[in-house]
């Protein structure tokens, strides 16, 4: 059975300028700020977004923002990491339940498109991270590719896909998923996530499956 790595805690770890809450109430407040930041950055973009706009959306005082984040840059960095973790956590159960390597990639793509349809702002936020915080941008894609690569290598070891799959294949699959998410998750929803994932699974089966 395909396995995804153990999930981290629901609350994302702190990044520079980001202070981890110590109480359940603090975790809820910090999460409300992150959710509001996703809406603010997603609608207005990084440069037009404001801390006051985030706190207004979150329904918290300005002081509450600074309890957890030093600046707009800090909450943006935390948001990029948080959204990356949200994607991982959303697709992981279906990936773990998949019977083989190809099925795992199919489940991962279908789950990703479903997530994107509910969080279309992720594309604008991640794209802006390339210029606002290149380290977060690179980490988002590098860690995603690493997880795909680990799954492929495990599937190869079980004899489910061809020997020799590795980093190039992982980045190719990730790149394909990113643009399929854009086309069928953000731009239009004219095909079901399952239909898109079926087409890709057939492509992978012919391309790297035994």
Distance of CA 120 to the CA centre of its chain: 12
Q: How far apart are CA 109 and CA 153, in angstroms?
A: 18
Place of tokens 């795909």: 148
Residue 197 lies in a domain: yes
Assess if residue 188 is contained within a domain: yes
Alpha helices, H only, 49-192? 51-58, 62-68, 72-97, 101-118, 121-132, 134-157, 167-181
Q: Is the pTM of this model over 0.85?
A: yes
* Domain around 140: 77-207
Are 50 and 30 in contact, with CB atoms under 8 Å apart? no
Per-residue pLDDT tens digits of the chain, which is 210 residues long = 444 443 333 334 455 567 788 899 999 999 999 999 999 999 999 999 999 999 999 999 999 999 999 999 999 999 999 999 999 999 999 999 999 999 999 999 999 999 999 999 999 999 999 999 999 999 999 999 999 999 999 999 999 999 999 999 999 999 999 999 999 999 999 999 999 999 999 999 988 666
The tokens of 187 are what? 């731009």
Say how many domains are in the chain. Answer: 1
Is the residue at 179 inside a domain?
yes
Structure confidence at residue 75 (pLDDT): 97
Let me know: does 116 contact 195? Beta carbons within 8 Å. no
* CATH label of the domain that carries residue 168: 1.10.357.10
Please work out, in degrees rounded to the nearest 5, the angle formed at the alpha carbon of residue 19 by the alpha carbons of 90 and 23.
Answer: 75
pLDDT at site 210: 66
- Residues 112, 178: contact at Cβ < 8 Å? no
Q: Is residue 160 part of a domain?
A: yes
Does 175 fall in a domain?
yes
Residue 32 lies in a domain: no
Q: Is residue 52 part of a domain?
A: no
DSSP label at residue 5: P
Does residue 101 sit within a domain?
yes
pLDDT of residue 171: 98
């Amino acid at each position: 059975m395909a396995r995804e790595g153990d999930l981290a805690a629901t609350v994302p770890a702190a990044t520079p300028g980001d202070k981890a809450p110590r109480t359940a109430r603090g975790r809820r407040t910090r999460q409300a700020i992150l959710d509001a930041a996703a809406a603010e950055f997603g609608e207005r973009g990084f440069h037009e977004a404001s801390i006051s706009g985030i706190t207004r959306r979150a329904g918290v005082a300005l002081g509450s923002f600074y309890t957890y984040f030093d600046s707009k840059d800090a909450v943006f960095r935390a948001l990029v990491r948080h959204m990356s973790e949200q994607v991982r956590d959303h697709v992981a159960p279906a990936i773990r339940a998949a019977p083989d390597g190809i099925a795992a990639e199919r489940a991962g793509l279908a789950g990703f498109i479903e997530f994107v349809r509910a969080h279309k702002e992720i594309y604008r936020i991640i794209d802006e991270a390339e210029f606002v915080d290149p380290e977060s941008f690179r980490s988002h894609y590098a860690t995603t590719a690493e997880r795909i690569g680990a799954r492929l290598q495990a599937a190869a070891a079980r004899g489910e896909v061809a020997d020799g799959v590795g980093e190039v294949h992982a980045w190719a699959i990730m790149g394909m998923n990113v643009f399929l998410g854009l086309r069928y998750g953000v731009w239009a929803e004219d095909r079901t996530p399952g239909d898109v994932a079926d087409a890709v699974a057939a492509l992978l089966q012919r391309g790297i499956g035994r």
